[in-house]
A and B are shown apart, each in its own frame.
Chain A
Amino acid sequence: MATTPQEKRIILKNIDQDGYTRDIDCYLANGGYEVLKQTVTKDPADLCKEIETSGLRGRGGAGFPCGMKWKFLDRKSGKPIYLVCNADESEPGTFKDRQIIHKDPHQLIEGMMCSAFAIQAACAYIYIRGEFPEGAKILEEAIEEARKKNFVGKNICGTKYSCEIYVHRGAGAYICGEETGLIESLEGKRAYPRIKPPFFPAVLGLYQCPTAVNNVETLCNVKHVFDMGGEEYAKIGKPGNTGTRILCVSGHVKKPGYYEFEVGSLTLGQLIYDVCGGLPEGRTLKAVIPGGSSAKVLRADERYTGKTKSGEEFDWSLEDIPLDFDSLMAAGSMAGSGGVIVMDDTTDMVEALGNINAFYAHESCGQCTPCREGSLWMKKITTRMLEGQPRLEDVDLLKSVADQIAGRTICAFGEACAWPTQSFVLKFRDEFIAKAEKQIKESSPSREPALAETE
């Protein structure tokens, strides 16, 4: 498969290239595990510094600086440190981690072993989404291959450092991807997210020990940071938004798929039109959700103005927005998990929200009141609106329910389920109202004159 010219492939470099297979010989022939061999000869503290210097931010959704996360690990407690790879990839619109696991599993394993050595982890886990049985099998086989060659397990590459990787299949729920829910699930319990404070994974994580939870793509990046050095890595992308990013484009484009770019090197418009071949014929762009279903929706016919983090004023159309963490945040949404969902003018926004609401109502773990009850209520409202009984007041009610959730829950699922509703009813209020008005007119055509008579 040919790489699109706008792309810069680091993580996906070998993936989909002719003749590239996932077995260890192919990986080794392409320079695999050379970085790990170098890494285990270095000072772990220096390695952690390299990550800080690289500016690498988490690719799992929150964009939290990886170096800082590792720095928070409680090394004074004397308890073992764990590394956990979050491979639960369940955010609607996101399908990148699976590609890495299926097509280049050794890259993840090398990235994990490099990370494990840097934080001196006692043991590492890959928590893989329950619906990826094939991926789990591939990882098991790859780990076995790597173990035979002494890249995993006892005395890695002949050093004193030992570390095992275990693959754990997820429990089949979206909430298992939330890092503290994941940890509970890994411990064999329901994936009920923990309250933070006090249960920050870096201090009280897996089995109450310090734990680093990182996304698949993040951990792959670690290998490349160690390869080129933090400073070199930091030159890719933009300051504070370094490296590359895999974007998963779905929805109304001609060429949906996954692409890897230097962060901030292109705009949303370039992504849609130049990379993904534009919208289907005769359609116009209506809206984009830029970072997985929980990111706030952005409307096409709107201007995005304000100041960036670095203080520059901007005035963008939707197509102008650069694809990096800070610009998307400045435009009122987020880079999230990298899932870009494109919607054209044929999309019924009430239906789109109804779909998202159904997902979140189904996936709320049910532990805390606002999310548990609010997510289902929002779903019930949008479902009723779609089933022919919309009311004028529903749009405000939806917003009010969402407002009662965000910021008041145990985990970020609260925001994840509130933001779609908040943004849809803010940006497309007209459509929600129109739906109700149309229904009212159709079901009682005589209503307006009747009202007039009573006056």
Chain B
Amino acid sequence: MSETKKDDLVTLLIDDQEISVPKGTNVIEAAAQLNIEIPHYCYHPKLSAPGNCRMCLVEMGMPMRDRGTGEPIMDDDGKQKIGWMPRPAIACNTAAAPGMQIKTQSPMVKECQEGVMEFLLINHPLDCPICDQAGECRLQEFATDYGRGYSRFVENKNVKPKRTRLGPRVTLDDERCILCSRCIRFCQEIADDDVLGFVDRGSYSTLTCYPGKELANNYSLNTVDICPVGALTSNDFRFKMRVWFLKETPSICTESSVGVNTEVGSREGKIFRITPRRNDEVNDTWMSDSGRELYKQVEAENRLTAYRASGEEASPDEALDSGRALLQRKKTAFVGSGHLSVEEQFLFSKLADLAGAVRTDLVSHIEEGDGLLISADRTPNVRGALLTGLIEELPSQKLSALGEAIDAGEVENLVVYREDLLAAGLTKEQLEKVSILYLGTHQNDTSAIADTILPTLTVFEKSGSFVNQQFRLQRFMPAVPGPQNVGNDLLVLSALINAFPDQEDLSGIDHVWQEMGKNLAVFEDLLFLRIPPEGKLLEVPEKLRDLPYAEGKTLHFYPAAAKAPAG
């Protein structure tokens, strides 16, 4: 982010502490910078602020000026007097102003918070023991932090529908809804799919979908994330696991080159959900529904777990020996993948060099982008392949040149990582002419005919990094262990590299990074563990700057040709 200029800063006083913030910052965010929490429900940093929950009420004062002359009014100490507003103000839609003073702890503020908490609870069901939100529920949290702790309500609670299907992935419990309108605003302002709204009035207001429509867009599950209570639940996650048992592991979505930051929730080696991790430069607080499904590949039926040598199921050692033997042959070509991590691409490239590869290809996967968080390039790491030198040019979708080389008898052996060569345009006849060493996580038509198979791990089972469309280096960590016997990719690659004389052991990720730093200028002085949580923008080498990349506009990315919108 660009440095904020000094004159664009305003200084205000919150609970007697001074803070300078960029113009336009609201009081909730300004207070957060001082580690002062102003409780809020309807406000969300990435959506418009309707000011409807009234949980964020604070006392506000402004420096006084004479109405007639405009001159400041001073007190006895020579300081400008503060005129305190008789009514509380909403912190969420009050912009910081020079000299403004805010009280977040005064008796009036406490009373407002107690009042709003009481109001939110009187018609709220006592569902916590069976509610998915329990443990990460703002209503629970603020009730204990800001509520009175006892009830004065002796009337009957309102009754509303408990299980409304809003769409294929989202279910609504209207009794739990606190009518904050976050979900509605998300659909209007982010997903551009204005299907949610309230019907009826007052306390009987009910969230619903427009008649004949449903909440089915590919971002619908974000409403579940931002719902401050347990009103919206994900059909996939509902009633499966109490959230406090989940281990949260930072990860990166592999759906496209956007590189959405995610958090993988797992317990005892099983993944239960994927949720977005905030990164204001990449995905804000959002992710696609389809990206959340990707954990299912871990336990997919077509998962590759068996080793193969000479076309027969084999032990890991036999398969490895068979692979090493293939690498000693001449006329070998390599096919890598934009799905591999930077580290894997580096080692794969090294391996290709050692084996004297005839050629190295990558298969590109281009589809239409959605303008939001799924780009046209449906692999997470083509930039990494370019930076590590695995490839020199942008890949194409069809491997016709490789096919010709096979036909011409220039290629007799293939090392294929993850890709399906048939899908990439090679013919069965061509593949019958070559011996194949296949590395990958899932079965496909290529693995089916490979002579040698070395199964590897999914993104959820290992560490590594990707370089997204912005040339931002981002890191992922292992959430769950891989299937028994399946080796970590780096371990497998290092073992293959060691088939050649005088090679170091490169199975440790730190070691790989030292090696990359020595060989590639962009990675100089970088270490895996030093990649910051929000990623690191890399200095793009000259020759990679103006390649015809496939991405169009996405949430935070505009190709050089298109100009970023102002503001």
**Which positions in A face B, CB cutoff 8 Å?**
173, 175, 190, 192, 195, 197-198, 361-370, 372-377, 380-381, 384, 391, 397, 400, 404, 407-410
Contacts and interface: CB of A to CB of B under 8 A. Distances in A.
A140 to B, nearest CB: 28
5 contacts: A369-B178, A373-B119, A377-B153, A410-B52, A410-B54
Given A377-B122, A410-B51, A410-B52, A366 B155 contact: no
A373 B152 CA distance: 13
Given A364-B203, A373-B119, A373-B120, 4 more contacts: A368-B52, A369-B179, A407-B86, A409-B54
Nearest to A190: B198
B444 interface: no
Interface stretch (B110-118, B166-174, B333-341): B110-118
Contact of A376 (B115, B120, B202): B202
A114 B55 CA distance: 44
Contacts of A410: 51-52, 54
Contacts of A407: 86-88
B119 A370 contact: yes
Given A361-B203, A362-B201, A373-B120, A367 B152 contact: no
A368 B202 CA distance: 9
B206 to A, nearest CB: 9
B93 interface: yes
Nearest to B49: A195
B202 A362 contact: yes
Contacts of A363: 201-202
Contacts of B112: 408
Nearest to B200: A366
A391 B154 CA distance: 11
A175 B57 CA distance: 23
A408 B202 contact: no
Interface in B243-299: none
Interface residues of B, number: 37
A267 to B, nearest CB: 31
B123 interface: yes
B87 A369 contact: no
Contacts of A408: 54, 57, 87-88, 112, 115-116
Contacts of B200: 366
Given A370-B119, A404-B119, A408-B57, A361 B202 contact: yes
Contacts of B239: none
Interface string B78-100: 00000000111010010000000
Interface of B: 50-55, 57, 86-88, 90, 93, 111-112, 115-116, 118-120, 122-123, 152-156, 158, 178-179, 197-198, 200-205
A350 B197 CA distance: 36
Contacts of B115: 370, 404, 408
A397 B51 CA distance: 26
Nearest to A195: B51
Given A364-B201, A377-B155, A408-B112, A369 B88 contact: no
A380 B200 CA distance: 18
A365 B201 CA distance: 5
Nearest to B205: A366
Contacts of B203: 361, 364, 366, 372-373, 375-376
Contacts of A400: 152
Contact of B119 (A192, A367, A374, A380): A374
B67 to A, nearest CB: 14
Given A369-B55, A381-B155, A195 B90 contact: yes
B57 A366 contact: no
Given A366-B179, A369-B52, A369-B55, A375 B202 contact: yes
A404 B110 CA distance: 12
A195 B53 CA distance: 12
Contacts of B52: 367-369, 410
B116 A370 contact: yes
B122 A397 contact: no
Contacts of A391: 154
B322 to A, nearest CB: 68
B198 A366 contact: yes
Contact of B53 (A361, A362, A368): A368
Nearest to B87: A407
A372 B205 contact: yes
B118 A366 contact: no
A195 B202 contact: no
A369 B54 contact: yes
Nearest to B153: A377
B454 to A, nearest CB: 59
Contacts of A376: 123, 158, 202-203
A377 B179 CA distance: 17
Contact of B201 (A366, A373, A404): A366
A373 B205 contact: no
Contacts of A362: 201-202
A175 B205 CA distance: 14
Contacts of A197: 93
Contacts of B116: 369-370, 408
A173 B87 contact: no
B64 to A, nearest CB: 19
Contacts of A364: 201-203
B202 A370 contact: no
A-B interface, 7 closest residue pairs, ranked by CB to CB distance from nearest: A404-B115, A373-B119, A366-B205, A380-B155, A364-B202, A376-B203, A195-B51
B50 to A, nearest CB: 7
Contacts of A368: 51-54
Contacts of B179: 366-367, 369, 372
Contact of A366 (B50, B156, B197, B204): B204
Nearest to B152: A397
B136 to A, nearest CB: 21
